[in-house]
Copies of this chain bind each other. A is one copy, B any other.
C-alpha cells in the first residue's frame, strides 16, 4: 500500500522539527526531500531521512543555520550554508540567483559549507517557474575514479539544466556524471544480480560485474565507462561540477568531500567548508521573447519525440519525461516504500515520539 504525499511530507516535517529545525525550514526540507520520491528518484528521497538525522546526531548538520551571502557582485555570489541542511541552503542560494536574474538578466551562486541538497531538479525548476533557465549542480562523497585511477576521488556529481517549454512540460536534464548511479548498484545488491561491465571497477581498478565491489574499495566509473568510450569526458564533467561547486566557493572538493554516511568520519585535513553546490538562473527574455523561445522549444520537443526509432514501441525519451510521469502517477496513486525504509522511518518515529507511518 503506497503512502500519500501529504502523509510522508508531514512525517518528514515532524522529524525535521524534532531535531530542531524551525517550522519554515522543516516544511521546505520535507518538500525538497519528498519531491524526489514523487519524481521516482527513491534513492534521494525519504529513504535518506534517517541519514540526515544521523549526521545531525554527529554534530555535522546545524539545524539553526545562519545562511548568508559572504561575497557578491550584481550577478554572482558565494553563499555560506553554515553547515545547514542542503535541502534548505540550496533553495536559499537559488532564490539569490533568481533575484539577481530578475534585475540583471542572470544570477550565479556558488555555495560552501552545505550538506546533501536532494535532487538537483528541484532547485533548477524554481527558475523555470519564472520563465528562466535553471542550473543546479553539487559535489558529493567520493565514489568515482577518474579515468586510469584506482582511487575514488569524485562524487557522482550531478548536473541539472532545466528549460521552460510552452505546451509541453519543461525539459529537465538531471544526471549523475557517472556511468550508473549508486542507487542502481544498491538495487542489484538487493536482488543478488551482477551489474553490466562498465559501471564499476574493483579496488585494483580491474573491471568487475560484482555490485558489492564498491563496498570493498572499488569505484564507480565516469560516464563513458572506459577511455575508449570517452570516460575522460565523464571525468571532465564531474571535475567541472566539483570546481564550480567547491573550488569556486571554498567548500571541500575531490576526495576531501565529507561522506554522507555518518559512520564514516570526514577527512581530518579538510580543504574547505562542508560540501559545495553551484546554481544559476538566466531569464529567457534576456535573449529573446519568451513566447518565441517556447514555440521553438515545443517544436524541438515534438521533433525529437516523434523521431524514427529502432524499435517502434520504444520512443525517444525527452529529458525529464520519466520523472514527470512518476510525479503525475505518484501524486494520484501515492508513493510506494520498501519495507526496510518503513522500518527505518518508524524507528525514527519511536525515537522522536511522533506517530509511526502505520
Whether A63 sits at the interface, judged by CB under 8 Å, is no
Q: Which residues of B contact A104 (CB under 8 A)?
A: 73-75, 104
Per-residue CB proximity of A125-140 to B under 8 Å, as 1/0? 0000000010000000
Whether A233 sits at the interface, judged by CB under 8 Å, is yes
In the complex formed, the residue of B with least CB distance to A195 is B228
For window 216-248 of A, CB contacts with B under 8 Å fall at 223-225, 228-230, 232-237, 239-240, 242-244, 247-248
Whether B236 contacts A287 by the Cβ 8 Å rule is no
Whether A264 sits at the interface, judged by CB under 8 Å, is no
Q: Which residues of B contact A248 (CB under 8 A)?
A: 133, 284, 287-288, 293
| Cβ-neighbour of A288 out of B78, B237, B242 (below 8 A) | B78
In the complex formed, the residue of B with least CB distance to A110 is B287
Whether A114 sits at the interface, judged by CB under 8 Å, is no
Whether A196 contacts B309 by the Cβ 8 Å rule is no
Whether A250 contacts B296 by the Cβ 8 Å rule is yes
Which 6 residue pairs across A and B have the least CB separation, nearest first?
A73-B105, A205-B310, A76-B286, A76-B105, A173-B236, A75-B105
In the complex formed, the residue of B with least CB distance to A237 is B173
| Cβ-neighbour of A303 out of B74, B177, B255, B284 (below 8 A) | B255
CB distance from A291 to the nearest CB of B (A): 13
Supply 28 A–B pairs (Cβ within 8 Å), ascending by A: A71-B287, A72-B105, A72-B286, A73-B105, A74-B75, A76-B105, A76-B287, A77-B286, A105-B108, A110-B287, A148-B310, A149-B304, A149-B308, A150-B309, A153-B303, A171-B243, A175-B237, A196-B229, A201-B310, A204-B310, A223-B223, A223-B233, A224-B229, A229-B229, A237-B237, A253-B296, A255-B303, A271-B296
Interface set of A (CB-CB < 8 Å, partner B):
71-78, 104-106, 108, 110, 133, 146-151, 153, 161, 163, 171, 173, 175-180, 196, 198-199, 201, 204-206, 223-225, 228-230, 232-237, 239-240, 242-244, 247-250, 253-255, 271-272, 282-284, 286-288, 292-293, 296-297, 299-300, 303-304, 307-311, 314-317, 319
Whether B317 contacts A148 by the Cβ 8 Å rule is yes
In the complex formed, the residue of B with least CB distance to A74 is B104
In the complex formed, the residue of B with least CB distance to A247 is B296
Whether B304 contacts A146 by the Cβ 8 Å rule is yes
In the complex formed, the residue of B with least CB distance to A206 is B310
Q: Which residues of B contact A272 (CB under 8 A)?
A: 296
* A175-B287 Cα distance, complex, nearest whole Å: 25
Whether B77 contacts A148 by the Cβ 8 Å rule is no
Whether B255 contacts A153 by the Cβ 8 Å rule is no
* A299-B237 Cα distance, complex, nearest whole Å: 18
With A148-B316, A180-B230 already in contact, 4 other A-B pairs whose C-beta atoms are closer than 8 Å: A72-B286, A150-B310, A151-B307, A173-B236
| Cβ-neighbour of A249 out of B178, B224, B288 (below 8 A) | B288
Whether A249 contacts B105 by the Cβ 8 Å rule is no
* A242-B303 Cα distance, complex, nearest whole Å: 13
Q: Which residues of B contact A75 (CB under 8 A)?
A: 74-75, 104-106, 286
Contact flag A288-B240 (CB < 8 Å), given A232-B317, A317-B232: no
Whether B73 contacts A286 by the Cβ 8 Å rule is yes
CB distance from A45 to the nearest CB of B (A): 21
